[in-house]
Structure 1
Amino acid sequence: MTTVDSYNPADPGDLVVSAPSAGAAGVEEAIARARVAQREWWALGAAGRSAALGRAATAVEAATEELVALTVREVGKPVAEARGEVARTVAIWRYYAQAPFAAAGELHEPAAGQGLLLTRRRPYGVAGLVTPWNFPLAIPTWKAAPALAVGNTVVLKPAPEATACALRLAELAGLPDGVLTVVPGGGEEGAALVAGTDVVSFTGSTAVGRQVVAAAAGRGVPVQAEMGGLNAALVLPDADIAQAAAHLASAIAGYAGQKCTATSRVIAVGDAYEPLAEALAKALAQLAAADPALATTACGPVINAQALTRLTEAIDSARTAGATVLTGGVRTADRDGWYLEPTLLEGVPAEHPLASEEFFGPVAVLLPAADLDEAIALANDTRHSLSTSVHSRSLDVALAAADRLDAGMIRINAPSSGVDYHLPFGGAKAASYGSREQGQAVLDFYTASRTVSVLPTEAY
C-alpha cells in the first residue's frame, strides 16, 4: 500500500503523518458515500445544517492549541500566523453557519396573466475540493463550509504536505458519515475527484489548475480555480517610506513568502527608489528566517527541499544575469530545515523567471519606474495578477491607480497579503478561473439556479 508521508519542514527528519493513499478506487468510493449522504444532509433543512456548522466551529475553537501546534509542525507556519489561521478558520465556520438561512431565490411577476415565477437555488450534490498546503485549515474551510451550508456534501483532497491538518480538521468538524470526507493522495486521487464530483473547487499551481479546469469543463461540471499570483507593490515618492517598507517586508517574508498574495515585485516610482531600497533591505534583514515555533518568528522554512533548491538556483541565476542581491540570498546555515533568508534583488532582467514567474518563497525583485504610468504598466505586465498594493499619501492618486490596475484585489497603504473571508476573493487574467470564492458570492457557485413557473389551473 502506498502512503502519503508528510514531514516537518523545520525538522526534515520528523515524520508528521504517514497516511494510506486513497487511490482512484478509494476516491470513487468516497464520492459514492457522499452522494448517498447528501440526501439526508439536504433533508436536515436550514436549521439542521446551520447547527452542524456551528458545532464544527465550536469544536475547532476548543482545539485551538492543538491545531496551532500541528500547523507549525506540518507546514512550518510561524506560530503567530498559525494562531491567526485557526481563529480565521473558526470565524469562517461561524460565518457560513448562517448561510443556510440566506434567500435561495427570487419571486417575479409573470409577463402576462396570473401565476408566480420563481427562481430557486439548489445544491449540485457532491463538491470535490482540491486544496494546497499553505493554509491547511483556512482554505479547506472556506471551500467546504459554504458548499456544506447550501446542502452539498464534500470530498476533500488536500496537498500531501498538509494531510495531517486536513484529517484532523474533518475529524473535529464531527459531521455525519459521508458529509465531509478527506482522501489523502496526489495526482491520481485529484484526477479521480475531478472526474467524479458534481462541482469542483481548486487552489494550487497554474499548471495543475489548468488541467483541473479542462477536465471539469469537459464534463460540463462547474469549476473554479485559484492559481496564485505574481503580485506587485507600487510605492510612490510621497509614500511613508518606513511604513511602506514594513508592509512590504511582511508581505515578502511573512510565512517565507508562501502565500498566493505575497509580494514578489516591488515597483518604486521616481525618487522613491533609493530610500525604499535602503529601508526595505533593512526591514527584510530584521526578519531573519527562524524556528516557526518561536513567537518572534515571521519567516520560517520553505515547505520542502525541492522548493529551497528552486529558489536558490533562481537567485544564483539572477546574479549570473547581472542582478545584485541587496539582502539575503543565502540558505540559513545554523539550523536544520529548509530555510532561506528573506531576499531582495535589484537589476533583475525583465525576462528572468524571478521577474516573470511565481516562486512561492521569501524573494522579491525591486524595479524602478519613472512615473505612475510606467509603474502601472509594469504591474499589469503579468498573466497572474491576484493582489497589488499601492503606497501613497494621496488618496486621489491611489484610487486612480486602483482603477487602472488589473489585479483582483487592490490594497492601498497595506500589504498585498491578507484576505477578508467575508468578501469575494480571486484574481485577474490567468490567476483565477470561474466565479469568486468566499463571502456571499461563493454560495451561488455551489448551487444551480432553477426557474419555476406556477400557473393557476383555471382563471380567477
Structure 2
Amino acid sequence: MTAHAATLTSRSPADPSDILVQIPAPSAFAAVDAVDRARAAQPDWQAGGGAARSAALTAVADAVEAAADELTALAVREVGKPLTEARAEVARTAAIWRYYAQAPYEPTGAVHEAAAGAGLLLSRRLPHGVAGLITPWNFPLAIPSWKAAPALAVGNTVVLKPAPEATACAQRLAEIVQRALPAGVFGVVPGGAVEGNAIVSAADVISFTGSTAVGQAVARAATGRGVPVQAEMGGLNAAIVLPDAHIEQAAAHIAAAISGYAGQKCTATSRVIAVGTALDPLREALAEALRAVPVGDPADAATVCGPLISEHARGQVLDASHGLRALVGGTAPHAPHGPGWYAAPTLVEEVPPGHRLLREEVFGPVAALLPADDLAHAVRIANSVPYGLVTSVHTADLNTALSGLDRLDTGMIRINAPSSGVDFHLPFGGTKASSHGPREQGRAALEFYTSSRTYTLSPAGTM
C-alpha cells in the first residue's frame, strides 16, 4: 500500500457485492495531521474538568443507545456479525461509555506522610496527551469504545485508526462521539498500514488490538520512541473438560465458543482438551452441538455462525482442517447461505504434533479435540502454545478446578463458562504472544492512559 494511491474498500462479507465504503486512503500526512489537531485540543479538554468530561461521555452513551438499531444493522452489514451478537455489542458499547463516565470523579493520586519534618508528599496521575488507537474489525464498536472512553475520561484526546473492514462502523461511531465532545478531541483516520504506522510514530500513548505480527511491530516501534504501548494480539485458547463435568453443558458452551461469530474472536475456543473418560462422551456431545449450530445470513436472528470476514479468511479455515479427521464440518456449507464467505463449524481429531491448528490462530469456526491423561497433562497441553489469552475449565469439582488454575499460563480463566466473553469492568489481557504491556479495561485502563507524578511540598524558609 502506498501513501497516496491506495483505495480503501469495505464490503459486506454476507454479500461481497455490497460495498459500504470505497475511498482513497488518507495518507500518512493526514494521520499525523489528525494527531496534531488532537494535541492542540488536549490542554483545554483536560482543563475543562472532571464534570465536563463525565457529562460528555454520558452524552455519548445516550447517543449510542438512541442509535442502537442503526448501529446494530451497520455491524451486521459491514462485518457480518450475527444480529443477536450485534445487538449485544451495541448495548455493551453504551454501557462502556456510561461506566467510564464516572471515572473523572475517581481519585487521581494520594497524599503521603513526609519522611521527616513538615511538608507533604503527593502522587498524582496525569494524561499522556494524545492516545493513538488501532482497532480490529471484529468488534467494530466495542473495542474502539473500551479504548477511547478511558483515555478520554482521564483527559487525553484520541485518534482512532480502525481496520479497513470496519470503516463505516468507525465513521458512524466517530460522528456520535464528536457531537458530544469539543472539536479535535476525538478523530478517526481510516486506512491501513501506512496510516497506522504514522499514528504510532506521532501519538503519546498507543493501544493496539489485532494480529500478533502487527502487534509486535507496533510494540517495537512505540517502545523505541519511549511511549507507553499495549498490544492485544492472538489467542489459541483451550477448553479443558474433566470427567466429572456436566458434559452436555460443557459441549454447549464450547460449541458456542467455537462457532459464535464464525470463531472470529480472540477469545474463541480452538483446542478442546478432554481428560480421561470425558473424551468419548464429549466427542459425541460436542459434534452434535456443532451440527446444530445455525449457519447463515447474519441478519437472521436465529443465526449463530455467519460469514467469515473475507474470502481469504475462509480459505485459511478450510485449509487448516484439510486432510484431518473431521468429526463435523471441514467444508464450506452446502446449504444455500447466499453469496457470502461461509464455513461450517468444524471439529477435528487425531491432529499431528506441530500442525498449524496447534501453533497458530486460524480465526475461524474450527477446533481440535485432544485427549489428556489427567488434569496435569491437560494443563501442559494448554500451556504448550505460544499464546496465553484465556482458558475455560469444565468440572463439577471446585477443588479440582482450583488445583489447576494457578498452573494455567493464561491471563484469563473461566470455570464452567465459554472461553469467549469479556467483562468490560475487569482487566483484559493475556500472557506470552497474546499481549504486550499493561491490561485493558476496568481501572487498569485508567492507569495505562495516565502517568504518575510525585510532588514534594516543603514550607518556604525551612532548611
The SS at the match of 2:442 is coil
Identify the residue that residue 155 of structure 2 maps to in structure 1.
151
2:297 is equivalent to residue 294 of structure 1: no
Identify the residue that residue 422 of structure 1 maps to in structure 2.
425
2:326 alignment partner AA = V
**Given the alignment, which residue of 266, 276, 280 partners 2:282?**
276
> 1:225-262: per-residue Cα shift (whole Å, max 9, x none)?
00021000000000000000000000000000000000
Contact 2:318 2:330 in 1 (8 A): yes
CA distance in 2, matches of 1:254, 1:92: 22
Identify the residue that residue 28 of structure 2 maps to in structure 1.
24
CA distance in 1, matches of 2:359, 2:216: 18
Identify the residue that residue 347 of structure 2 maps to in structure 1.
344
2:395 alignment partner AA = S
CA distance in 2, matches of 1:223, 1:194: 9
CA distance in 2, matches of 1:22, 1:402: 47
> 1:160-210: per-residue Cα shift (whole Å, max 9, x none)?
000000110010112222111110000000100000000000000000001
Identify the residue that residue 109 of structure 1 maps to in structure 2.
113
Identify the residue that residue 62 of structure 1 maps to in structure 2.
66
TM-superposed deviation, 1:459: 4.8
CA distance in 2, matches of 1:254, 1:291: 13
Identify the residue that residue 100 of structure 1 maps to in structure 2.
104
Identify the residue that residue 398 of structure 2 maps to in structure 1.
395
2:359 is equivalent to residue 356 of structure 1: yes
**Given the alignment, which residue of 398, 408, 417 partners 1:405?**
408
TM-superposed deviation, 1:404: 1.2
CA distance in 2, matches of 1:231, 1:102: 35
CA distance in 1, matches of 2:283, 2:107: 51
Contact 1:64 1:86 in 2 (8 A): yes
Where do residues 190-209 of structure 1 align in structure 2 (5 Å cutoff)? Answer: 190-209=196-215
TM-superposed deviation, 1:3: 3.0
Where do residues 54-453 of structure 1 align in structure 2 (5 Å cutoff)? Answer: 54-173=58-177, 174=179, 175-316=181-322, 319=323, 323-333=324-334, 334=336, 335-453=338-456
CA distance in 2, matches of 1:83, 1:249: 21
CA distance in 1, matches of 2:99, 2:417: 25
The SS at the match of 2:18 is strand
CA distance in 2, matches of 1:29, 1:458: 48
CA distance in 2, matches of 1:432, 1:454: 39
1:189 alignment partner AA = E
2:278 alignment partner AA = A
Identity %: 64
**155-164 vs 172-181, which moves further:** 172-181
TM-score by length of 1: 0.98
TM-superposed deviation, 1:350: 1.9
TM-superposed deviation, 1:100: 0.6
CA distance in 2, matches of 1:186, 1:153: 21
The SS at the match of 1:107 is strand
> 1:117-155: per-residue Cα shift (whole Å, max 9, x none)?
101111110000000000000000000000000000000
2:344 alignment partner AA = E
TM-superposed deviation, 1:40: 1.2
Contact 1:288 1:341 in 2 (8 A): no
Contact 1:132 1:203 in 2 (8 A): yes
CA distance in 1, matches of 2:197, 2:356: 29
**346-355 vs 13-22, which moves further:** 13-22
CA distance in 2, matches of 1:3, 1:147: 30
RMSD of aligned alpha carbons: 1.0
TM-superposed deviation, 1:110: 1.0
CA distance in 2, matches of 1:357, 1:2: 30
The SS at the match of 1:404 is coil
> 1:76-130: per-residue Cα shift (whole Å, max 9, x none)?
0000000000000000000000001111011101111110010111111000000
The SS at the match of 2:406 is helix
Contact 2:358 2:385 in 1 (8 A): no
Contact 2:389 2:434 in 1 (8 A): yes
The SS at the match of 1:133 is coil
CA distance in 1, matches of 2:318, 2:108: 51
TM-superposed deviation, 1:336: 1.1
TM-superposed deviation, 1:18: 2.0
- Number of equivalences: 455
CA distance in 1, matches of 2:137, 2:259: 17
> 1:272-306: per-residue Cα shift (whole Å, max 9, x none)?
00110010001001114211100111100010011
CA distance in 2, matches of 1:369, 1:160: 41
Identify the residue that residue 19 of structure 2 maps to in structure 1.
15
> 1:295-325: per-residue Cα shift (whole Å, max 9, x none)?
1111000100110111111211xx1xxx310
Contact 2:114 2:121 in 1 (8 A): yes
TM-score by length of 2: 0.97
The SS at the match of 1:51 is helix
CA distance in 1, matches of 2:353, 2:142: 34
1:206 alignment partner AA = T
